[in-house]
A and B are shown apart, each in its own frame.
Chain A
Amino acid sequence: MASTPKNKLGIRGWVCGGRYVVERYAYIIHRISGIGILVYFILHIFVTGSRLGGPEKWHSTMSFFETPLFKFGEYLVFAAFAFHALNGLRLFFNELGFLIGKPARPVFPYKTSIHHQRPWLIVLMILAALFIVVGGLDFYILGE
């Protein structure tokens, strides 16, 4: 296997490694939301494990989490999910070679794959925003 070039930026390379087009911000948020959901998920496995102790144990565990702070945290997980899932869908297709157009000669006026994929990004982000608003409605208005 060809050796990987050395990452000279170190941890800075995670956020400062490229050109700042809108996809680059989507990439940073995708990474942060992925890590956030993963941390939540690992704790979630233990919290839902309290079902082993029966309904009383579950009930007492849940009452511990009934604070506005945890509720907001849960909403953040929901929002992270909405973004990560829909942006992930775009990446899924892009990385498998779909929705980026066919290779073509660089003839003026130039077209890049951005022309093909950006409309998808915009549509999916509108959808994600819609989910986040509907989720907020459920969490904070209907759910009260």
Chain B
Amino acid sequence: MAEKSARKSNDVLLHDHNHDGIDRRGFLKCMAWAGTGAFCVIQGGVLNSYSLSKLAEVGSMETRGELSFVQISDSHMGFDKAANPDVVSTLKAAIDKINALPQPPAFILHTGDITHLSKPAEFDTAEQLLKSASAKDVFYVPGEHDVLNDEGKQYLDRFGKGSKGAGWYSFENKGVHFIGLVNVMNLKAGGLGNLGQEQLEWLEKDLKHLSKSTPVVVFAHIPLWSVYPEWGWGTDDSAQALSYLKRFGSVTVLNGHIHQTMQKVEGNITFHTAASTAFPQPKPGSAPSPGPMKVPEEQLRSLLGVTDVNYVRGHHALAVTDSSLG
């Protein structure tokens, strides 16, 4: 049931402009597996997709490149409602998945909603658990649940070292330029996610010195593409940010927030949202609200997950792999 409806939502989202010659039928086929454990590679504009039954198989494929890293998202430490009364054990399961990868990833990206209520103990739990991951470096961006009541002060105290403004920053690894953006602050009534003028100016400057052949990975909590504005699943000023990225050959945008995997290719930019490690949310418009989705217990882990990303030099886009926890 869940797989069938996930397919439907991806079909809808793929009716977007594609000008890069990617085989659409192949792309759709690949997408049909996303969220239940799919492996997709887009190399030089040609798509290959493989069924992912065992993570070990990934290692044997010719996809290990110069750099591999993992994205996790929406851990919601402190959440204890029916949709998942034990978010600690599912975060642990996600870390087990990471530790089972044939090669340890260079680092972990956490795309926000680390905590449910911004409580110090919730942050502590997440940090403590992630210490057992094979990758020691974790790069965070905040979700709206991490900046409650204090305008993000606690988040910045913990994770903001070396960052600018509300916590945005960039770094390089193996020739790939990574940019962590914050789009959960100063939200306006009736609006969506928000980057703000100061951050946009910083972004423009940050990208200016890069050659257009530099692969760029942008990560932020709320999607930087319009997934479903009716539920707030988009960012008001993302078009401005994306305009600075148009000249690059390879751009990958990684987000969380919507607690399900989705992918879209638009020109040079591949958009990808990761599953939550805590609880699933309904497909766009399929429920009265985007609140936590209660599924039968035996189904829960199949809807939670970890995203593995591989960069192979010279290829059109990074390979993005979603694997479920169950």
Same assembly: no
